[in-house]
């Protein structure tokens, strides 16, 4: 990704030229050099096995095109087929209440029991609780991360990321070379971008717990825009400190009093 | 869906291929992953054996898979190239008189669109074990494949001006290499492109490694 480009400007570029491929915008030499540098960089970070999915090539998930600024290229490690399973995202605060983390775990187990993959963002808090519970329940989990492959945030999830990359599915849209030269404060913008991709990859997003300014709300907006189901746990509605649950409910979000509310709203098998 | 070209980065995964070989593929087939996933399931359905038509379920999936692949190829191939190209399906591992004789690649080519120049220019003289069913040590070498291939001289007129060799899965690339050798000898200078539905990827490169005979 070139200096100054954003996922939005790139999406606009590709929308204007229906047949374009990422390498069409630079010379073949530049494209080759970039590919070689990416591979070198990933090898240095210990990533020897990875795959790419490019829009218009085979195995690119058509569902990603529902995003407002769909990604043209993404990297992955692990079992790509998990992206073809039915899946729901379980997301929320990085600093949840004890009860919130438990709820995330219960939901993840419920999803596993129904044969759904548990998709989350590998952040601290709710994300970690959801991934971990899915693994403990013997289910499948997908992490859509806000760093390039081979990089971790937060550090506490290093082992979890390595395990998901090996045995499950780790997805990153973050440009490897651009990321390497960006100042730290700019790198955090990849997290909300990946929320939109995570939403597009799934049939719906379940918000367990989130503050008024949480990045999770990016995913809520993306889910509604993309025509995905947005589920909000009843406990969020009872929190006097936040106004977003009622706002999103008016826009079509589904209030979850009981897990059955989720299954009722999804299309049958 | 567009083709991906087998470039230098990918060619190392298919070690029978040579530097100048021009090969294209649509999807990625994962080794040792059974029929899990869209592409693997598609390929498994394509490879269903004719002899198991009545003994195993799901035969109808084969016809559906053939149609799907024809459609995907039709959407990806340059129509102007199709106007003049000769489409050569790689012969199946079983000769015509075998109960498992399978002309799926020919059916796929003919399904791309009407009035194409589809020619089974290369025939297999005797049946062999299918590559995907043979153990790694038992896979035929390019030379062995060549010894078993025969050019059908009754089909060589008119001489092709461009050739597409069609196969379902690119693994090591030996069948393509053998086909390329026999066709380029008979039609020197005619451009040849390998067109594959999928290439094989190995999730763990140290498992199921395809070791040469001398190891």
Strand ranges (E), chain A: 51-54, 73-78, 87-91, 117-120, 141-145, 169-172, 204-207, 229-233, 254-256
Average pLDDT on B75-102 reads 92
Interface of B with A (CB under 8 A): 1-4, 9, 25-28, 30, 33, 36-40, 72, 198, 201, 203-205
- A with B: how many residue pairs have Cβ under 8 Å apart? 42
Q: CB of B30 within 8 A of CB of A81?
A: yes
pLDDT digits (tens, 9 = 90+) for A65-112: 999 999 999 999 999 999 999 999 999 999 999 999 999 999 999 999
Dihedral sign computed on CA atoms, order B150, B113, B105, B196: positive
Query: By mean pLDDT, which of A4-18, A118-132, B180-194 is the weakest?
Result: A4-18
CA distance linking residue A157 with residue B58, whole number of Å: 43
Q: Where are the domains of chain B?
A: 4-201
Task: Give, in order, the Cα–Cα distances in Å from B83 to each of B112, B115, B117, B162.
Answer: 12, 9, 8, 10
Between A58 and A267, whose confidence is greater?
A: A58
pLDDT on residue B210: 45
pLDDT above 90 (res B127): no
Q: CB of B173 within 8 A of CB of B16?
A: yes
CA distance linking residue B83 with residue B113, whole number of Å: 10
CA distance linking residue A102 with residue A108, whole number of Å: 10
For A250, counting Cβ atoms within 10 Å of its Cβ (0-12 exposed, 13-18 middle, 19+ buried), the class is: exposed
Average pLDDT on A128-153 reads 97
Q: B194: Cβ–Cβ under 8 A, 6 or more apart, which residues?
A: B6, B21, B22, B23, B24, B164, B165, B167, B170, B173, B176, B180
ipTM > 0.90 (yes/no): no
**Do B30 and A81 lie within an 8 Å CB cutoff?**
yes
Binned at pLDDT 50, 70 and 90, residue B215 comes out as very low
pLDDT on residue B134: 59
Give which of A31, A58, A168 to mutate to test B binding, by max B Cβ within 10 Å: A58
CA distance linking residue A161 with residue A140, whole number of Å: 14
CA distance linking residue B183 with residue B194, whole number of Å: 12
Query: Residue B52 has what DSSP assignment?
Result: G
pLDDT above 90 (res B128): no
Structure tokens that stand for A31 in this block:
């494209």
pLDDT on residue B211: 45
pLDDT digits (tens, 9 = 90+) for A248-262: 999 999 999 999 999
Identify which of B47, B113, B105, B59 has the alpha carbon closest to the alpha carbon of residue B82. Answer: B113
CA distance linking residue A224 with residue B148, whole number of Å: 59
CA distance linking residue B193 with residue A10, whole number of Å: 32
pLDDT digits (tens, 9 = 90+) for A148-177: 999 999 999 999 999 999 999 999 999 999
pTM across the whole model:
0.83
Give which of A19, A59, A60, A62 to mutate to test B binding, by max B Cβ within 10 Å: A59
Average pLDDT on A225-232 reads 98
Minimal C-alpha gap between A7 and chain B (Å): 22
């Amino acid at each position: 990704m070139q200096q100054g480009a954003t996922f939005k400007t790139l999406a606009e570029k590709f929308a204007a030229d229906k047949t374009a491929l990422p390498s069409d915008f630079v010379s073949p030499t530049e494209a080759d050099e970039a590919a070689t540098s990416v591979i070198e960089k990933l090898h240095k970070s210990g990533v020897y096995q990875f795959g790419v999915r490019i829009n218009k090539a085979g195995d690119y998930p058509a569902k990603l095109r529902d995003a407002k600024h769909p990604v043209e290229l993404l990297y992955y490690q692990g079992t790509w087929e998990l992206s073809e399973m039915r899946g729901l995202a379980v997301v929320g605060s990085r600093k949840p209440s004890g009860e919130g983390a438990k709820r995330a775990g219960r939901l993840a187990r419920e999803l596993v029991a129904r044969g759904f993959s548990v998709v989350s963002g590998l952040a601290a808090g709710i994300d970690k609780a959801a991934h971990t519970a899915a693994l403990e329940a013997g289910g499948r989990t997908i992490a859509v991360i806000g760093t390039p492959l081979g990089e971790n945030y937060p550090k506490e999830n290093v082992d979890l990321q390595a395990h998901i990359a090996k045995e499950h599915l780790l997805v990153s849209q973050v440009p490897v070379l651009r990321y390497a030269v960006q100042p730290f404060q700019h790198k955090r913008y990849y997290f909300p971008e990946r929320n939109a991709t995570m939403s597009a990859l799934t049939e719906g997003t379940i918000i367990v717990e989130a503050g008024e300014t949480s990045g999770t709300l990016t995913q809520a907006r993306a889910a509604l825009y993309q025509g995905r189901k947005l589920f909000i746990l009843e406990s969020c509605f009872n929190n006097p400190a936040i106004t977003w649950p009622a706002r999103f409910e008016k826009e079509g979000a589904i209030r979850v009093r009981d897990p059955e509310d989720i299954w009722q709203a999804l299309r049958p098998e | 869906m567009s083709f991906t070209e087998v470039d230098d980065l990918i060619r190392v995964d298919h070690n029978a291929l040579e530097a100048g070989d021009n090969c294209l593929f649509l999807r990625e087939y994962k080794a040792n992953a059974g029929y899990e996933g869209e592409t693997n399931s598609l390929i498994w359905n394509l490879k269903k054996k004719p002899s198991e038509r009545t003994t195993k379920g799901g035969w109808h999936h084969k016809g559906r898979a053939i149609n799907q692949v024809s459609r995907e190829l039709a959407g990806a191939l340059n129509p102007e190239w199709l106007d003049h190209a000769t489409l050569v399906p790689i012969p199946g591992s079983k000769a015509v008189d075998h109960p498992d004789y399978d002309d799926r690649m020919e059916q796929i080519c003919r399904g791309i669109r009407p009035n194409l120049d589809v020619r089974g220019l290369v025939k297999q003289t005797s049946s062999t074990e299918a590559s995907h069913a043979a153990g790694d040590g038992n896979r035929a070498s390019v030379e062995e494949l060549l010894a078993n291939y025969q050019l059908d001289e009754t089909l060589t007129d008119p001489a092709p001006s461009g050739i597409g060799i069609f196969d379902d899965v690119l693994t090591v690339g030996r069948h393509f290499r053998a086909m390329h050798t026999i066709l380029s000898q008979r039609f020197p200078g005619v451009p040849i492109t390998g067109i594959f539905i999928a290439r094989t990827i190995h999730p763990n490169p140290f498992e199921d490694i395809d070791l040469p005979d001398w190891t």
